[in-house]
Structure 1
Amino acid sequence: MEPLHEDCGVALIRLLKPLEYYQQKYGTWMYGLNKLYLMMEKQHNRGQEGAGMACVKLNSEPGKEYMFRERAMGSNAITEIFGNLKDNYKDVTPEQLADASFAKENLPFAGEVFMGHLRYSTTGKSGIQYTHPFLRRNNWRAKNLCFCGNFNMTNVDEIFDQLTEQGQCPRIYSDTYILLELMGHRLDREVERNFVDAKSKGLEKTAITSYIEDHVDMSNVLKTTMKDFDGGYVVCGLTGSGEMFAMRDPWGIRPAFYYKNDEIIVLASERPVLQTTFDLECDEILELEPGTSLMVNKKGECSIQKILEPKEKQACSFERIYFSRGSDTDIYKERKKLGEQLTEPILKAVNYDTKHTVFSYIPNTAEVAYYGMLDGFKEYLNRKKLEAIESLDHQPTHQELEQILGEFVRSEKVAWKDIKLRTFISEGESRNDLASHVYDVSYGSIEPYTDNLVIIDDSIVRGTTLKESILRILDRLHPKKMIMVSSAPQIRYPDYYGIDMPHLEEFCVFRAAIELLKDNHMQYVIENVYHDCQNELKKPKEEMQNAVRGIYKPFTIEQINEKIVEMLRPDGVTTPIELVFQSIEGLHSAIPNHKGDWYFTGKYPTPGGTKNCNLAFVNYVEKVYQNE
């Protein structure tokens, strides 16, 4: 219901031919820039807080800029940065702008290596200083590093301590900055290693520079930089000498896809972005495997190198349910199956009365799951019709067949996402009143007091929009019963790998479990889990267990669902309401290749996730008692 923020999207392009080639074949040397723009726009769903892009010119002359960056804030950031870029060309004649050689020599962003980034903050930090790409400058081209990523690291505190113990003094405490500085430090060491090699071979002056740039091995940099990080990530970078790389975490938590031919090497966070931008078939695009890096050197030679030993793959299932574009061929099928699998529990909720049930969805991300749900009910009704015909002991009349075959799945677009209303009033009931109008309904779409109303959404997280808007506005249709369906299981645990779900108390499922414990005079469970979490935090993190799971053990899913309804029911709404969630088994059946389910099960793929979850519960309890 509530918009979740997934932390970022990335895009990389390496042109393998001179700019004149693209001018001649595609009519513009800006081929790389135009494709980068498309890739970023098609990943706009992944970040609307800010955007940035960077470019490197290969083989530039001393005294001329060769590394460029543009960043902007806000939902229109992509338009702004490319608008600013084009402003650089406003004083250039049309003839000069069409001259690839002139552009390469004189115009900013007329290069061969490009990187783009879309940002959603998962840390609460905002401002242009937190917008990727980050840049680390140096007079040696090979030591310049431009860096961006789709990631969240769980052990920044440990890495920070390592750096300070070495005598370093980081200026900013954030995973992005620390990662940039650590990687930059390792890049410096790699350059210096090659400097020593060059000197030992008797090389001097610019010959040393050429040797370094031809022999920098970014896999060495990544192996020494990333070995201690715990988290989900795709980290990308460019160097001033023309190296390009993208590395995926060993668990495969965050996604990355790439394609290469004799003209380009490209990478993006989502497969359909590459399919549409470059007119490709699905099977032409490859997934970057966990623990590996796509490496492109200064010469344009491409390789996939293992940086870290891959772990058991735990690709994020929420990417499939919600974040990634539903236009991906596999994601589309998976979301349909998630909806279809809910047929039986929905039937129970409406007491098998399909004749008086209307199906709809919360726009817009639940639409594909809705189609799957309709398919499930069509199949159910077809079976029901066949059984009715087969059970007849006589030749049916036209009227009998018409009566049997006449029942159909009733679907309507009941809920509409209204224009984005600006809640400019920040306090009290006035703000709540505005929030309640985020959605509108199709009046007359159901028979009042007779029809059940089934509404599917991709997930139910905080419950705020349900309480403040959805339930209240759907109640205006006066359904006999409302069944709110989630194509995802109950979200019980925080995410620490890039999704904006860091706090236990934000989840309506967690709040309901806590209230049930209080209702049943079982506060001792809260105390026991609190002490268990404290004890787990004393262990080495690799040995920790997630003690927070004990909060949910006393109750069934149905008991928690009933409590959620009680907590979220708006004042004055008396219509019966029931919640239906996807099962964990159903999730794995629909999405078998993306096993990352920690937000539902509490089984974190990395030690840092388990540690942070235990710490989150300790902080929650201490905050509650402190407030009391």
Structure 2
Amino acid sequence: MSDPIKHECGLAFIRLRKPFSYYQQKYGTVMYGLNKLYLLMEKQHNRGQDGAGIASVKLNVEPGYPFLHRLRSAAPQAIADIFRQVGEEVNELEKYQPDVKSHPGLLKGHLNFMGELLLGHLRYGTQGKNNVEFCHPFIKRNTIPARNLALAGNFNLVNTEELFDLVNINPGPFQKQSDLAAMMEVLHHFLVKEDEQSQTQLDVVSVLKKAARLFDGGYHIGGLIGNGDSFVMRDEHGIRPSYYYIDKDVIVAASERAAIRTTFNVGENEVKELMPGQALIVKANGDYSIEQILEPKERKACSFERIYFSRGNDEKIYKERSQLGYNLSDAVLKAIDYDLKNTIFSFIPNTAEVAFYGLLKGMEDYLNKIKVERILSWGKDYDEEKLSEMVNRKIRVEKIAIKDVKMRTFITEDASRNEMVQHVYDITYGTVRKGVDTLVVIDDSIVRGTTLKESIVTMLSRLEPKKIIIISSAPQIRYPDCYGIDMSKMGDFIAFRAAIELWKDKGQENCVDEIYHQCKELARTGQLNSENITKKLYKPFTAQQISDKIAQLITPEGLKVPVHVIYQTIESLHSACPTNTGDWYFTGDYPTNGGNKVVNKAFLNYMEGKNVRGY
């Protein structure tokens, strides 16, 4: 993605179902659980750059001894930092007991994170500051084991203020900045009540049903309870991804299917998807069940997971990203007037690479069709040279754009900084015939357009192509997200800015003011969540008009090379990614009422010059 956006936390949950001695005998190490937790987190490292954390619960601990432990880090390599500390603790034990790893009971008694229940988290900060206090898991401690809770998740809630009110808590400055704090308070509130009323075993299903019905947002959460129970749950729309794997040795859950497959070396069909509104409940004795906590609603799994967020080594995601590129073939062929001989194809490194292969296949299919038609039209009028020339025609592919990962913009002065930004991407000289070749470059999405204008288009123009065509494998991003992706300001979106410019071109800026006043009225009457009023901003314009205006906006002043932009359509997005139809950032159709509130608030903030979040 040329305009990087912060996004998507990652969750890792492991429940060991056997004694530690079993793993030592079968797998050769008593550290089996911690090793797998490390791998499961590293295989999802694409999901968190701001910090990480782990928690563990030990079963059957003698009264008076600690059973719940947590370690968090906001270091640049947070996962490595956490497990380095765990390793140092093991090394320290080995100084006094060299063969401590051969004594599972002894190691469990002295190593904090030698627990049967393990929870790991990778954090991308969409709310709160990027320091260790905001890293998951959060914990609640109590002298009664069943009232201890460790909680982590991949989510955002849009009704945190209401949640604090519901449990009669006046949040402090820290709690106000963290939706996990709100979720924790609500869950812990019902957990304590359940424990107070419970005569026998804790009813985790009852706790989740009472708490989850209050949450407005998309979430995939995991929790460890001090009595040995644990759970993983997904929101009723299935907005955030959730997968699990179970065998006789372990119960595992994570945010990505491929991470589980790689870590435990299992087949695709062995890893299951936790369906919308469901929870995986694991009792203290290792028994488990899949429970329907919330009635499932229309599935709105996040489409950005397939376009960009999740790792592409999942075979289904790989095929879908390839199909996204393939689906753009017809539009690209029309844009280049079917002139493949004078067109070079490339991609923005590195996340657009799979979609590029799909686009390339589309071009090859068209070229092969033309080859067959031409050869058939010759009849017998050809020789070896003529036939060879036709058969050997190929799509022209070059690695044009190269991201210089070493570049850091260390100068804050605007003029100098803009000059530095231009060089974040470099180009391959000598690949383009000046004034002859059209250059087609695919990106997985275009959010702000800033990097395109200030770096990529500027650099590509130095090759002096006849024309530059930028393709987005995602549709136009028009609306904020509020379910886990850090896109909450309307003014950041180039599609939104394009719509505003089109209103100005028509001399009808007053219409934008009218929409603003309608929004203000909804705010006055407490009805911001009733509808997405900002859809009216786009209604008069076709997608093509907005794309054309975006092309103007990303063209640096004075550039003589024509720039065109092609976006994926909503329909072709759904055909490529049929199971992930959550598309509110493209369509404005939010799965929960809280989404309408966020988008309207974001528009009000823009109109009132407030550079703050929409939630």
TM-score (norm 2): 0.96
Cα distance in structure 2, aligned partners of 1:371 and 1:292:
36
Matched, 1:562 2:566: no
Change (3 A) 1:219 1:624: closer
The aligned residue for residue 524 of structure 1 is: 510
Aligned to 2:132: 128
Residue matched to 2:457: 471
- Cα shift at 1:537: 4.2
| Residue equivalent to 1:584 | 570
Match of 1:378 among 364, 368, 378: 364
Contact 1:51–1:118 (CA under 8 A) maintained in structure 2:
yes
Between 435-444 and 42-51, report the one with greater CA deviation.
Answer: 435-444
Map 1:66-465; keep pairs closer than 5 Å: 66-93=67-94, 94-163=98-167, 166=168, 168-171=169-172, 172-173=175-176, 174-194=178-198, 197=199, 211=200, 215-465=201-451
Distance in 1 between the 2:402 and 2:90 partners? 43
Q: 1:510 aligns with which of 496, 514, 532?
A: 496
1:543 Cα shift? 7.3
TM-score (norm 1): 0.94
Could you say which residue in structure 2 is the equivalent of 1:575? 561
CA contact (8 A) 1:513 1:552 kept: yes
Residue deviations 1:458-511, cap 9 Å, x none?
Answer: 000001110111011111211111100000001101001010100110001100
Q: Distance in 2 between matches of 1:302 and 1:537?
A: 46
Unaligned runs of at least 5 residues, structure 2: none
- Give 1:540 shift: 7.1
Letter in 1 for 2:262: T
1:324-346 CA-partner distances (Å, limit 9, x unpaired): 01111111000000000111111
Is contact 2:75-2:81 (8 Å) kept? no
**Paired amino acid for 1:178:** A
Distance 2:164 2:113 in 1: 34
User: How far, CA to CA, are the matches of 2:255 and 2:525 in structure 1?
Assistant: 36
Cα distance between partner residues in 1 of 2:368 and 2:211: 58
Q: 1:288 and 1:34 mapped to 2: Cα distance?
A: 24
Q: Is the 8 A contact 1:97 1:103 kept in 2?
A: yes
Letter in 1 for 2:438: N
Q: Which residue of 2 aligns with 1:60?
A: 61
The 8 Å contact of residues 122 and 500 in structure 1, kept in 2 or not, is answered as: yes
Which SS does the other structure have where 1:477 is aligned? Answer: coil
State, as a whole percentage, how many aligned pairs show the same letter.
Answer: 50
Q: Output the CA distance in 2 between the equivalents of 1:560 and 1:488.
A: 14
Match of 1:45, as an amino acid?
A: N
Q: Give the SS at the match of 1:460.
A: coil
Partners of 1:240 and 1:557 in 2: how far apart? 53
Output the CA distance in 2 between the equivalents of 1:255 and 1:579: 31
Confirm or deny that 1:17 pairs with 2:18: yes
Is the CA contact (8 Å cut-off) linking 1:122 and 1:498 kept in structure 2? yes
Deviations 1:439-469 (A, max 9, x none): 1111112222211111001000001110111
Amino acid corresponding to residue 28 of structure 2 in structure 1: G
Structure 1 Cα separation of the partners of residues 125 and 483 of structure 2: 12
For 2:396 and 2:104, how far apart are their aligned partners in 1?
59
Deviation, structure 1 residue 536: 4.1
Deviation track 1:169-207 (CA, whole Å, cap 9, x = no partner) reads 23321311111111111111111112xx2xxxxxxxxxx
Would you say the 8 A contact 1:456–1:485 is kept in 2?
A: yes
Counterpart AA for 1:151: F
CA–CA distance in structure 2, aligned partners of residues 193 and 425 of structure 1: 61
Following the alignment from structure 2 to structure 1, what is the Cα–Cα distance between the partners of residues 392 and 275? 51
Across the aligned residues of Structure 1 and Structure 2, the Cα RMSD in angstroms comes to 1.6
**How many angstroms apart in 1 are the aligned matches of 2:278 and 2:244?**
12
